[in-house]
A and B are shown apart, each in its own frame.
Chain A
């Protein structure tokens, strides 16, 4: 899967979890850019991603991922 293809699917996950069709993410997107992205919604986001891509994040990663780019790197390395 190319990074562009990954981002297309990631965008759908973000739009679905945060119920906002206007969201467009990139490598630098953080919780500061998406109003509803708080610690509780983060759990829903991670679980939805795991289901979407058939992979698992490690707990340490869940806690420390700083932006969407880091998420994308982990997903690409694991699928």
Chain B
């Protein structure tokens, strides 16, 4: 389906086609398979390839508009959860946005770089103990959750999402992708701050959440509280990356690192990739988007 999708993009937006062609230059077979799985899931949900292409282009239109706003104003359009709540209630927006964002996980080179660090994270925390927990905050499109379920052996997988629509979509995607009736997972439609977790997780994942919240430090503090010294944490976010529902602006990578420091989380490994294959230095200088991901652990008390 990727070939048909790209052909439609080429006929509707040559510039987006050129961007994708460049971005897909180093896609691996495994990543291509995951992308095809996502196309098939969307088709199973009743979308034609033409609709998917149009929804993806709408998503890139939102991106274009916000990028222009950001270049001119040096800030994101919105800065509070109240302002963006109306977007989350807009079915058409959410549909285009979720589909576009999901596809971008594998279509965009930047997102694939982060997925590579995520896979490294999983390979280091396989979770072979009898009572072990994988815990994900804001599983969104479900790619991380499914990848974790396929590649690790935790005894339980829990995802928590404040958005009912998002939680439902994640459940559907998991059921579709795994094609087996596994009983070891749960997606909860709850607020992370109201949720009393019964067991301390062995792995905590929070992909692209910090930029969507007013007070990202509070999320990191709570992650610290629910972690043990052995818990391994994967967190990704974005720097200078305008999207309609991004409300917290990280101006550079050091701001993200300093926030981890404040939350007493220690960086073990990280990846950063600028859009359009630019160097990190150039992206910081020109204030263009950089995506970043970190593997972390709780800082020991005496540090």
Which residues on A are within 8 Å of B, measured CB to CB?
Answer: 30-32, 37-44, 46-47, 50, 59, 62-63
Contact = CB atoms under 8 A, between A and B. Distances in A.
A75 B10 CA distance: 27
B37 interface: no
B22 interface: yes
Contacts of B14: 30-32
Given A40-B275, A41-B276, A47-B72, A31 B64 contact: no
> Chain B CB within 10 Å — which of A30, A42, A44 has the most?
A42
B18 A59 contact: no
16 contacts: A31-B14, A31-B15, A32-B14, A37-B15, A38-B16, A38-B18, A38-B22, A39-B15, A39-B19, A39-B60, A40-B67, A41-B276, A43-B64, A47-B68, A59-B64, A62-B68
B168 interface: no
Given A39-B13, A42-B15, A62-B68, 14 more contacts: A31-B15, A37-B18, A38-B18, A39-B15, A40-B67, A41-B276, A42-B64, A43-B64, A43-B68, A46-B68, A47-B71, A50-B72, A59-B68, A62-B64
B257 to A, nearest CB: 26
Contacts of A42: 15, 64
Interface of B: 13-16, 18-19, 22, 60-61, 64-65, 67-68, 71-72, 275-276, 288
Contacts of B288: 40
The secondary structure that dominates the B interface is helix
B234 to A, nearest CB: 27
Contacts, number: 45
Contacts of A59: 64-65, 68
Contacts of A44: 71
A46 B275 CA distance: 18
Nearest to B60: A39
Contacts of A62: 64, 68
B18 A31 contact: yes
Contacts of B276: 38, 40-41
Contacts of A30: 14
Contacts of B15: 31, 37-39, 42
Nearest to A37: B15
A44 B16 CA distance: 14
Contacts of A50: 72
B67 A43 contact: yes
A34 to B, nearest CB: 10
Nearest to A30: B14
A40 B240 CA distance: 14
B18 A63 contact: no
A63 B71 contact: no
A47 B288 CA distance: 13
B126 to A, nearest CB: 37
A74 to B, nearest CB: 15
Contacts of A31: 14-15, 18
A58 to B, nearest CB: 11
A56 B77 CA distance: 18
A32 B275 CA distance: 21
B230 to A, nearest CB: 41
B62 to A, nearest CB: 10
Nearest to A34: B18
A12 to B, nearest CB: 19
